[in-house]
Structure 1
Amino acid sequence: MNPLPALARLGFDTGRLGFTLRTCFAACLALLAAWALGLEHPQWSAMTVFASAQPARNMLLEKAFFRGVGTLAGTAVGVVLMLLSGGLPLPVMLGLALWVGLCAFAGNLLRGFVSYGALIAGFSAAMVVLLDIGHPDHVLLLAMDRLLTVLTGIVTALVVGLLFAPKEGEDAVAGEARQLAIRVLRQLTSLLSGTRPGAEEQRQTLRQLALLDEALEPHGAGSLRSRRSARSIRSLISALVSALVWLRTAPETLRAEPVGKLLEQAAGALEGAAPVTEILPLLEQAADLASEHPPLRDAILRLEAAAKERIGVSDGEIRPARIEHPVILHRDWVGARQAALRAGGIMLGLGTLWVVTGWQAGALLLLGTSVMVTLFSTWENPALIMRKVLVGQACGALAALACRWLVWPHATSELELVLMLMPFIMLGALPMAHRRTMLGSIDYCMALLLLSQPALPLKGDLAGTVFTALAVVSAPLLTLIAFRTIFPTDARQRLQVLAGMMLRELQDLCSAPEAALRAATWRARLNHRLLRLVRLSQQAGERAGTQEDGGIAVFAVGMAVLRLRAMLAETDLAPATAHAIRLALARIANAAEQPGRAVQALDELASRLDEAGRGEAESLRAASRALAAQASFFQDQGGRPDAAAGAPG
């Protein structure tokens, strides 16, 4: 009888269950291997398996690599801290707090498994420093033991994963990108043929592009070819976003049926899985026919360039794709700074308290806090996940106490201790595969292992082990309080900061004479920020369309600003036109306070350029319409100077 349907009815993700069972089995193997090697804390090897596990091979390879690099870097820093301080507690804690803060800062700026490696480096130093702070003369041996412990877990996770885990399929992500490209091309065709696509249809396309962008990190993991594929797909996503922005701001009366027919042919070729080389001529012809409409022509040229970048990736060749337009990702400088201050401050405060009180279990509290205050700072809503982590760790602590006082007293050898711990580890596979307990269930295993040292003779009394368990469980509790009180962070707050950064950069463009030289960089970064804005607005539960439309308006106005800056660089520009441009730029820079005046300035300048026969008038009118429709978005962000403040992208 197949038990999977019954498990599915009970809420288990039967597809994930194989992965969780495999992970727990690998953790048991790592525990046994580390004990056999004579490592001081074999249970940490099992913890490393849980930290490194991934359901697909390419993701497992990349995560294991950056886990190893981060561990090596953190271990080296821990050794240096111990040697420079001579093992004196206060200097060590000061250095550790600074290092953990720096790693939290880097981890929040970087993306994917590179970010993970930076965060690992933070608490890997804590593993070296905290548990033997009074013995600096043994620090090299200690560091080697910690490093070998982690590497044993990484190797075990890799071996088991590579044997049993499936490879992430590239076709799913590339196929989704193809379908979205077809959809955008057909929306362009509809508009150019006289039928404007609905705003909600375009918003839905933008949301799916944002989801696809999120999926690119795992898609690009594990090999150089996968990374090149992800890079070229990200370039395509950026071009599709630009096309959608043009769609939303295009004139109502625009008709260009010959261009639309070519785009429809390109969509049909894509749908028929035609090679890129058959699609490029259609896009080239469409761009030539759209020469009377510069914004439309620019959008088509970007699609053509993105299609070229798939050559060498989609056709199986090994040469890298050539990137004609930069792909620049959004970096949350504000969130990174707050994460660094939060992590460093907590480590310094708790570390000082530990040094002053001499509480023996304080080292475990600090170690757990260093992990959680860094790793979870990159989540959109860290306080929410910390509640689940707290429950998981509490269950793990109870399981560790049960193992220590009910099971282990019957053991007659250390091997029996190791074997008796394994059923408690395997038990974690079930909550890890259940939809309601999936988040936080891995922390059951982490707390269980952190509190279970399989060594004879068994040490401590019941009261002491209970207090140690409470210290471990206090780490997620304190981290939860920190995330709620020190720079409180959730999807809504990140959304406000991001929208403020977009508006601030628009204002900077208005006042920067060299803005035209940075046009490609600004546009690429804003493309990605718009996608992040869409995802955050969904996660924050914002009313559909509110933030997306505001972000599109910022993009449209920004494109107009870049065109105006390029005009100011012309040597034969009429003085009166130059004066009107400078006036419009000044009013756009002040659009958060007086959007109506910026709209008026754009309309007046567009009329002047029409009289002069300039093609930029269409872009200015698009910006004017977008700004008028989203004036409240600009005013809302203008009222949050704290959200707008931050470092550039």
Structure 2
Amino acid sequence: MSILERAEALGFDLPRLRYGLRTALAAFLALLAAWALGLEHPQWAAMTVWAASQPVRGMLVEKSLFRAAGTAVGVAAGLLLMLASDGQTAILVVGLALWVGLCAGAGNVLRGFMSYGTILAGFSAAMVTLLSTAHHDSILLLGYDRLMTVLVGVFVALLVGLIFTPASAGDYETSASRLTGRLLDEMARPPAERSLGEQKAILSEAALIEEALDPHAAGSLNARRAAHAVRALVLALVSGLLWLRGPEAQRIDGEARGRLGEGAALDAARYPEVAAVLQAIGIAVDGLGNRPVAEPHMRPPVVLHRDWRGARAAAIRASATMLAIGLVWVLTGWEAVPYVLLGTSVMITIFSTFDDPAGILKAVFAGQVFGAIAALACRWLLWPLADSELTMLLMMAPFIVSGAFVLSNRRTMPAAPDYAMVFLLLSQPVLPLSGSFGQSVSTALAVVAGPLIALAAFRLIYPIDPARRLQALIAAMVRELEEMARGDAQIRGDRWRMRLNHRLLRLVRWVEKTRKGDIPAFEGSFAVLALGSAIARLRDLQSQSDLDPGASRAARVALARSATVGVAPDRAARSLERAAARLGATGDAELIANAARQVASNASFFRLAGAAA
């Protein structure tokens, strides 16, 4: 057995090992560069490399940009907090808790690396304020040092990364185009030959493509435009899948199906729903590859799901946790508490955007424990032998390189970033050495307490896990329909439909991740979209002065019942049926009757939303 085969048998991923070794090399070069520039905390530059490093060039460029911007904002906020508190711990704690909570909340609304930069601004302020409490007279120098070390780390990470990392993460334009062909083929089949399994497969692949688009869009305006076009296309494909579930798809004739298979336009007067779907798909396809759009004024909107309730919970959780720890600091004056606050500020913010914060924090805690042990070993076993600061840096090299092996092993991979970061955070290469072994252990314990405190917060303060995220997403879908029915939400064009389409894609991914096979994500989400179409049409009908009084009254009742569909879906379905009957044999009646059937057959899905309210 060769060395490579043995490494793979032990769980090492060789491509990831190469990536890890590149990152370790860049981290050590940043450490040397920051020390050579005379910066007080050169290890922060190496920490920046580990944080900013990415396996794809575009992601590296964008994450580095937002890391630099987030750090600059955080340093400025930290300096303002220090000046405003004027050495008063209570004021500093309250201000920092509010700032960290604000950044955590905003980071849960934003997407991609902009979210990362916003969250980074929160704990960068914590790093400036909490590590400078003993040196209040030098906070400007500490802020300068923090910013410069980050910029050095970003520059080195970019330099090494641009040389070695690939340029692209995948060709999602081609994948989306192929998926479009599959959907058109499915739409062109006779109703009896259509496959529910194929429709679910198309939806699942569309959800997978959409989830990968934010990293794919990173690094350049062209990539961002391409990702926008792909997202518009996959959202239009969801509308096509919805059409397959509606009555128009059941009565379309053979000639029209033939034109569907060719991707040709259909008579909008006869088949208005599928004509609108084909138009949206066509405009989105024109946008792929930066091609000019034939009708830019008709570009389909890309409206994304924003988890405002989750963001509020993240903000409250972060602020409350920081305030609780800060109260201990105010009451006891224990000098290790700032390190507890610092570690917690990172854990409680950055992991609030993860699918399962509590689950990942277990691996984070293990990584931090081993990182702290490595830092103690370096400080008390090797550094007493050093005769210069350069020698101290060289002694750190094996520990930095070991992070690459931790990163490349499938069993230890989740713990790797925190192993490297905590080792560097606790390693201050300066002579003469100071402090006692007990003080070093106390500081290390304070740092690694962060994941445990955050773990408790994620389980006790607005608990969050994949199942709850899934239920919250269903609740958001249904809640928007209820607001539309009450008239609290404006229905402007297809914006509500695109947002629901995006939520459907997100829901499919959540169901797949959590393996919640008992939740009918496909059928339930299309019932939501069908009900949304019915609500929009009922609102339009109510505005018509020539509507029959009985039909108007039935429409009003149906809207009132739809406003509580999460609590009483069966009652909403019956009201929709009565409204459809009042409208007679019309396309509007067909649309509303279909929504009634879908709500009735997916009542359990709507009740999930009511349970989450």
With the shorter chain as reference, the TM-score category is over 0.9
Tell me which amino acid in the other structure corresponds to 1:506. Answer: L
The aligned residue for residue 32 of structure 2 is 32
1:254 Cα offset (Å): 2.1
Residues matched between the structures, number: 613
Cα distance in 2 between the residues matched to 1:356 and 1:318: 64
* Match runs of 1:81-120 below 5 Å: 81-120=81-120
* Stretch deviating more after TM superposition (321-330 or 230-239): 321-330
1:252 Cα offset (Å): 7.7
With over 3 angstroms needed to count, the CA separation of the structure-2 counterparts of 1:11 and 1:596, relative to structure 1, is: same
* Match runs of 1:16-415 below 5 Å: 16-169=16-169, 172-190=171-189, 193-250=190-247, 253-266=250-263, 282=264, 285-286=265-266, 288=267, 291-310=269-288, 313-315=289-291, 324-415=299-390
Tell me which amino acid in the other structure corresponds to 2:278. Answer: I
With over 3 angstroms needed to count, the CA separation of the structure-2 counterparts of 1:513 and 1:332, relative to structure 1, is: closer
With over 3 angstroms needed to count, the CA separation of the structure-2 counterparts of 1:514 and 1:443, relative to structure 1, is: closer
Task: Select which of 426, 437, 449 maps to 2:412.
Answer: 437
Cα distance in 2 between the residues matched to 1:216 and 1:451: 36
Tell me which amino acid in the other structure corresponds to 1:189. Answer: A
Cα distance in 2 between the residues matched to 1:298 and 1:318: 16
The aligned residue for residue 582 of structure 1 is 556
Tell me which amino acid in the other structure corresponds to 2:22. Answer: R
TM-score, normalised with respect to structure 2 = 0.96
The aligned residue for residue 570 of structure 1 is 544
Specify the SS of the correspondent of 1:518. coil
With over 3 angstroms needed to count, the CA separation of the structure-2 counterparts of 1:513 and 1:34, relative to structure 1, is: closer
1:558 Cα offset (Å): 0.7
Tell me if 1:449 matches 2:424: yes
Q: Is the 8 A contact 1:491 1:537 kept in 2?
A: no
> What are the superposed Cα offsets for residues 520-556 of structure 1, whole Å, 9 maximum, x if unpaired?
2211211111111111222222116613321211111
What is the aligned-residue RMSD (CA, Å)? Answer: 2.1
Cα distance in 2 between the residues matched to 1:321 and 1:429: 48
Q: Is the 8 A contact 1:232 1:321 kept in 2?
A: no
> What are the superposed Cα offsets for residues 299-356 of structure 1, whole Å, 9 maximum, x if unpaired?
223222322333xx344x7999777221111111111111111111111111221233
Tell me which amino acid in the other structure corresponds to 1:588. Answer: S
With over 3 angstroms needed to count, the CA separation of the structure-2 counterparts of 1:602 and 1:318, relative to structure 1, is: closer
Tell me which amino acid in the other structure corresponds to 1:560. Answer: A
The aligned residue for residue 527 of structure 2 is 553
Identify unmatched segments of 5+ residues in structure 1: 267-281, 645-649
The aligned residue for residue 419 of structure 1 is 394
The aligned residue for residue 495 of structure 1 is 470
Q: Is the 8 A contact 1:87 1:134 kept in 2?
A: no
Q: Is the 8 A contact 2:519 2:605 kept in 1?
A: no
Task: Select which of 468, 471, 476 maps to 2:443.
Answer: 468
Q: Is the 8 A contact 2:79 2:140 kept in 1?
A: yes
Specify the SS of the correspondent of 1:428. helix
Cα distance in 2 between the residues matched to 1:10 and 1:542: 32
Q: Is the 8 A contact 1:560 1:620 kept in 2?
A: yes
With over 3 angstroms needed to count, the CA separation of the structure-2 counterparts of 1:344 and 1:590, relative to structure 1, is: closer
Specify the SS of the correspondent of 1:616. helix
Q: Is the 8 A contact 1:309 1:323 kept in 2?
A: no
The aligned residue for residue 607 of structure 2 is 635
* Match runs of 1:508-547 below 5 Å: 508-512=483-487, 515=490, 517-543=491-517, 546-547=520-521
Cα distance in 2 between the residues matched to 1:455 and 1:296: 70
Q: Is the 8 A contact 1:228 1:320 kept in 2?
A: no
1:295 Cα offset (Å): 2.6
Tell me which amino acid in the other structure corresponds to 1:595. Answer: P
Cα distance in 1 between the residues matched to 2:498 and 2:555: 24
Q: Is the 8 A contact 1:330 1:528 kept in 2?
A: yes
> What are the superposed Cα offsets for residues 466-510 of structure 1, whole Å, 9 maximum, x if unpaired?
222111111111111111221110111011111112112111111
Q: Percent identity?
A: 48
TM-score, normalised with respect to structure 1 = 0.90
With over 3 angstroms needed to count, the CA separation of the structure-2 counterparts of 1:186 and 1:524, relative to structure 1, is: same
Tell me which amino acid in the other structure corresponds to 2:436. Answer: D
With over 3 angstroms needed to count, the CA separation of the structure-2 counterparts of 1:169 and 1:391, relative to structure 1, is: closer
Cα distance in 2 between the residues matched to 1:83 and 1:598: 58
1:134 Cα offset (Å): 4.2
| 4+ residue segments displaced more than 4 Å | 317-323
Specify the SS of the correspondent of 1:457. coil
With over 3 angstroms needed to count, the CA separation of the structure-2 counterparts of 1:321 and 1:456, relative to structure 1, is: farther
* Stretch deviating more after TM superposition (117-126 or 576-585): 576-585
* Stretch deviating more after TM superposition (480-489 or 159-168): 480-489
With over 3 angstroms needed to count, the CA separation of the structure-2 counterparts of 1:320 and 1:256, relative to structure 1, is: closer
Cα distance in 1 between the residues matched to 2:414 and 2:194: 39
Cα distance in 1 between the residues matched to 2:193 and 2:570: 27
